[in-house]
Amino acid sequence: MTYMKEYYTKIIEALNTISEKEDKEIASAAKSMATAVMNGNSIYLFGASHAGIIAEDAFYRAGGFALFNPIFSPSLMLNVEPVTQTSKLERLEGYGDILLDSKPVKKGDVLFIHSVSGRNAVAIDMALTAKERGMKVICLTNLEYSKQVTSRHSSGYRLFELSDIVIDNGGEPGDAVVSIDLLTQKVAPISTIVGSYTIHSIVLKMIEIFEEAGTDIPIFRSANIDGGDDYNSQLFEKYKDQIHYM
């Protein structure tokens, strides 16, 4: 089997696993988010460094859910120089509190955190503070990986131990999945692919709930299709109390 074929096989295996074994957790996440929206609450997405790609992928895009509010920090994104700064800051205790304080979060809101290892302080800080404020915390993590590592937070918690709903990405410790003959380090991570599948699957489950309830479904249209800008502007106006990234 070629390396590329092995990677493809691993991806398919992971997608099948999360589709079959995590279906209940995905449905629970969707129910929590849909309920929050229908109650007038807000949904926030967070991830540091590469984990933050899922938040970028999910918000403000054609066919995407309009009420996802990302929590971004320039210092935790991959365009910072030196890029090693992201690793230092995601381990800085107290930084997650600062980031959460930058948003108008309130009781009943939902916070979705993507962290593959679930060990770093920024995500754990954020989860702890969110729960103190009466928010529901949902995490996407790698349980096998996270259970093998120690927390980098003074509380000793890992993210899965603080979350109300835990979705396991079914990956391998270290995230990369392809063994190379001449290397001790595996190559080709899968968490981004699995993460994108997961967040968009949650959206599809939410849509089923909205359909059953007979409520509006706030999904963006492409800005590159005639009428798209006008339609999206109407969404911004209608849901301005639940959209906090404008």
Q: What is the pTM of this model?
A: 0.95
**Residue 36 belongs to a domain:** yes
pLDDT recorded at residue 85: 86
Q: Write out the two tokens for 42.
A: 């807000």
Residues 205-227 have pLDDT tens digits of: 999 999 999 999 999 999 999 99
Euclidean distance between CA atoms 145 and 170, whole angstroms: 9
> Residue 81 above 90 pLDDT?
no
**Residue 184 belongs to a domain:** yes
Residues 107-138 have pLDDT tens digits of: 999 999 999 999 999 999 999 999 999 999 99
pLDDT recorded at residue 1: 80
**Residue 14 belongs to a domain:** yes
**Residue 21 belongs to a domain:** yes
Q: What rounded mean pLDDT belongs to the chain?
A: 95
- Domain of residue 121, residue span: 3-238
**Residue 137 belongs to a domain:** yes
**Residue 246 belongs to a domain:** no
Q: How many secondary structure helices (H) and strands (E) does the chain include? A: 9, 7
pLDDT recorded at residue 64: 96
| Sole residue written with tokens 């995230």 | 175
Q: What is the mean pLDDT of residues 32-46?
A: 97
> Residue 246 above 90 pLDDT?
no
Read off the CATH number of the domain in which 66 is found: 3.40.50.10490
Overall number of domains in the chain: 1
Residues 55-72 have pLDDT tens digits of: 999 999 999 999 999 999
Q: Tell which residue, 195, 128, 130, has the closest CA to residue 168.
A: 195
**Residue 85 belongs to a domain:** yes
Q: How confident is the model at residue 80 (pLDDT cuts 50, 70, 90)?
A: confident
**Residue 243 belongs to a domain:** no
Euclidean distance between CA atoms 57 and 53, whole angstroms: 6
- DSSP label at 115? -
The torsion region of residue 94 among left (phi > 0), alpha (psi -120 to 50) and beta comes to: left
Q: Write out the two tokens for 228.
A: 């798209």
> Residue 89 above 90 pLDDT?
no
